[in-house]
């Protein structure tokens, strides 16, 4: 990876014979010669996060047969974090994003870059800022809506004594559900309504709150796909 930054720096950020490279030359290089940069995204912290999401998936599986509606809610909430991680990894590995990162640093910070190491640092900062912008613009609202649904449902289940929980499971199992999507959390949350309504005791305010959150997720997901946020 170091040779890529060395080549970029000496060719486009370091004047040669008093002459600076042009944007047109950089664009030609990015289009015809630039190779994807391999970066390690398996840090201890990211690996711990991924391990937690997948171990949570295993724990959730225990509810699938007894509480199929609750299972869909739990799975959807956990899966949103898996999707966000995949989005971040995909963005860091995307050559188009790397081209844009080099382009942005060249246009904005060219005069400040004094070494290949500094060039690398500026590109890292670009990606950090880009991913943070995605979080603020899209993912934080996704997380908030999913967690609010989880809190709403969890409170309803935790308030029930054991006898009512057994009855709740029986009512959920009587419903017919479409296959779990494993991709579109909004569809799983809509399917979960069939059984969740019993846990919420057909309360109009609670069901309205649940449905509103699902609608928010659905509309945001459609908008996000149109903007290329993520598709899986």
Which are the contacts of 53, defined by CB distance < 8 A and separation ≥ 6?
78, 81, 82, 85
Other beta carbons less than 10 A from residue 103's beta carbon: 15
Q: Any idea which residue has 């029930």 for tokens? A: 160
Q: What is the pLDDT of residue 40?
A: 66
Q: What is the pLDDT of residue 179?
A: 86
Choose among 192, 177, 210: nearest CA to 79.
192
Structure tokens, 231: 């598709």
Distance CA 117, CA 120 (A): 5
pLDDT mean over 123-133: 94
The whole-number pLDDT of residue 228 equals: 63
Six-digit token string for 138: 């899209």
Question: Stretch 122-144: mean pLDDT, rounded?
Answer: 93
3-class secondary-structure state, position 19: strand
For the segment 71-97, the average pLDDT, to the nearest whole number, is 91
**pTM of the predicted structure, to 2 decimals:** 0.85
Q: How far apart are CA 150 and CA 154, in angstroms?
A: 6
In DSSP terms, 19 is beta-bridged to 16
**pLDDT band (50, 70, 90) for residue 227:** low
Is the Cα torsion angle 41, 42, 47, 53 positive or negative in sign?
positive
pLDDT at residue 232 is higher than 60: no
Query: What is the Cα–Cα distance from 85 to 167, expressed in whole angstroms?
Result: 37
Tell me how many degrees the CA angle 212-217-222 measures, rounded to the nearest 5. 125
Does residue 77 carry a pLDDT above 90? yes
Using 50, 70 and 90 to split pLDDT, how confident is the model at 181?
confident
Mean pLDDT of 177-192: 86
17: left (phi over 0), alpha (psi -120 to 50) or beta: left
pLDDT of 72: 95
* Pick from 23-32, 55-64, 101-110, 202-211: least confident: 202-211
Contact partners, residue 106, CB within 8 Å, separation at least 6: 12, 13, 23, 26
Tell which residue, 4, 8, 35, has the closest CA to residue 105. 8
Using the predicted structure, report yes or no on whether residue 87 has a pLDDT greater than 80. Answer: yes
């Amino acid at each position: 990876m170091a040779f890529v930054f060395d080549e970029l720096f000496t060719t486009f950020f370091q004047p040669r014979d008093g002459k600076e490279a042009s944007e047109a030359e950089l664009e030609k290089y990015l289009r015809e010669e630039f190779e994807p940069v391999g970066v390690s995204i398996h840090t201890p912290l990211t690996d711990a996060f991924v391990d937690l999401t997948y171990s949570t998936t295993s724990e959730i599986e225990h509810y699938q047969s007894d509480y199929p509606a609750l299972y869909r809610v739990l799975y959807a909430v956990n899966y949103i974090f898996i999707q966000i991680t995949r989005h971040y990894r995909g963005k860091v590995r995307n050559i188009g994003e790397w081209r844009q990162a080099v382009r942005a640093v060249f246009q904005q910070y060219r005069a400040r870059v004094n070494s290949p190491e500094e060039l690398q640092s500026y590109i890292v900062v670009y990606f950090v800022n880009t991913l943070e912008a995605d979080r603020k613009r899209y993912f934080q609202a996704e997380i908030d809506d999913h967690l609010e649904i989880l809190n709403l449902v969890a409170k309803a289940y935790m308030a029930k004594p054991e006898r009512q929980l057994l009855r709740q499971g029986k009512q959920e199992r009587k419903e017919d559900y479409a296959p779990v999507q494993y991709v579109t959390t909004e569809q799983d949350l809509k399917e979960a309504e069939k059984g969740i309504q019993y846990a919420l005791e057909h309360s109009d305010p609670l069901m309205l709150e649940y449905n509103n959150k699902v609608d928010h997720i659905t509309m945001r997901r459609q908008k996000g796909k149109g903007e290329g946020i993520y598709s899986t």
